[in-house]
A = this chain, B = another copy of it.
Amino acid sequence: MKVTIKDVARKAKVAPSTVSRVIADHPKITQETKDKVRKVMKELGYHPNLLARKLVTQSSQTIGVIRRMVSEEMIIDPFFPEALQGISDYLRSENYSTISVNAVSKDVIFEEVEKMVHGKNVDGIILLYSHEDDPTVKFLIENKVPIIMLGKPTEYSDEIMYVNNDNVKAMYDMTQYLIALGHKNIAYIGRDSSFEVHKDREQGFKMAMMEANLEFKHIYHSVYATNSAQQIVDEIIQLNPRPTVLITIDELSAMSMMSALYKRKLSIPDDISIISFNNSLLSKISSPPLTTVDIHPYQLGLETAKSLINQLKYPEAMRHNILVPTTIVERESCKKI
């Protein structure tokens, strides 16, 4: 039933080592023997046992992709499937498999990562999140595991290569865009700033406002839950003067703000404008379609994977981080005033 390299060798009347070399398409094997061996492999239905190969080559040809959700709801954020697709498409093209860990709990993540690193199950790790004081990062650095971060490292920033957007600039640009449209009273709805991305975005917002000599007093930090959105919206619409535009930092946040606004009988963008980040399909099909910053999640994922594979191939190469540019996509949720 199970056919191994020995069976092939026997039937083709060569040594197992020769069969192995044929599989690897070793240049010094004659075409003749290659053909002969390959024919036998076909006949016997031989397929190499990858486990055995991994054991001897000491390489797992698989990459661990670690994702942490701060909240249960983050699971449906369209950023992740798109980034993950970029990662797995690239890894597949390089003949790597991906094994993924996704959890809310820091401890679960730590355990899983420890297990896969010590068990030699992965050649490298992609970290899809970045926040302060993360034991997993510490562990990976100490064990010299090749890693790359999609996002911006808070610690060990000299040792971790990363791929990211320039989030300060992205938000700076977006704010300038709003100002150019005539908006002066802008409300900013961010998120928990223990994540680097949110710190950066907030900073970009403040920079642009300061430069334009505008006040930035309406800064909120939403959590994913919907009632918090309603609460924020209710606060905002009672402000006098009322902000003319809401900046949200992802599509899920934008959607819940819109819901809350509709509930208060406000229409978008006639009564109030709203903009967001990501530009997944969700932005296109929302009502109305969202003006948004395209952060190119697929591209981010792809570059991240590429960068890690490069690290594995050329461990001595110069470290360098990659910034994927962002672009503003105009749709119908934001009007000129």
Residues of chain A having any CB pair with chain B under 8 Å: 47-52, 54-55, 60, 62, 73, 75-76, 78, 80-82, 84-85, 88, 92, 97-102, 108, 112, 115-116, 118-121, 224, 226, 229, 252, 255-256, 258-259, 261-263, 280-282, 284-289
Whether the pair A258, B287 counts as a contact (CB closer than 8 A) is yes
Please state if A51 and B120 are interface contacts (CB–CB under 8 Å): yes
New A-B contacts (7) at CB < 8 Å, excluding given A47-B119, A76-B280, A262-B287: A50-B115, A50-B120, A51-B54, A81-B81, A100-B100, A226-B285, A259-B289
Residues of B within 8 A of A121 (CB): 50-51, 97
Closest beta carbon of chain B to A52's beta carbon, Å: 6
Q: How far is the CB of A261 from chain B (nearest CB, A)?
A: 8
Hey, which chain B residues are within 8 Å of A98, CB to CB?
Answer: 99-100
Residue of B nearest to A60 (CB): B51
Instruction: Choose one: B52, B97, B108, B285; the contact of A255 (CB below 8 Å).
Output: B285
Given contacts A88-B100, A259-B287, contact A252 B281 (CB under 8 A): yes
**Which residues of the other chain, B, contact A282 by a CB distance below 8 angstroms?**
76, 255
Which of chain B's residues has its CB closest to A53's CB?
Answer: B119
Name the one of B92, B116, B226, B287 contacting A284, with C-beta atoms under 8 angstroms: B226
Q: Pick from B82, B116, B118, B285: contact of A97, CB below 8 A.
A: B116
Q: Distance in Å from the Cβ of A251 to the closest Cβ of chain B? A: 9
Cβ contact within 8 Å between A51 and B119:
yes
Q: Contact between B49 and A119 (Cβ–Cβ < 8 Å)? A: yes
A sample of 16 cross-chain residue pairs with beta-carbon separation below 8 angstroms, ordered by A number, consists of A49-B119, A50-B121, A51-B51, A55-B55, A73-B281, A75-B82, A88-B100, A97-B99, A97-B116, A97-B121, A224-B281, A226-B285, A252-B285, A255-B286, A259-B288, A261-B287
**A83–chain B nearest beta-carbon distance, Å:** 10
List B contacts of A50 (CB < 8 A).
115, 119-121
* Chain B nearest CB, measured from A284 CB (Å): 6
A300 to B62, CA, bound (A): 28
A104 CB to nearest B CB, Å: 10
A226 to B284, CA, bound (A): 8
Q: Which of A80, A82, A263, A287 has the most CB of B within 10 A?
A: A287
A-B interface, 10 closest residue pairs, ranked by CB to CB distance from nearest? A50-B119, A47-B118, A76-B78, A256-B285, A259-B287, A262-B287, A255-B285, A75-B81, A73-B281, A51-B55
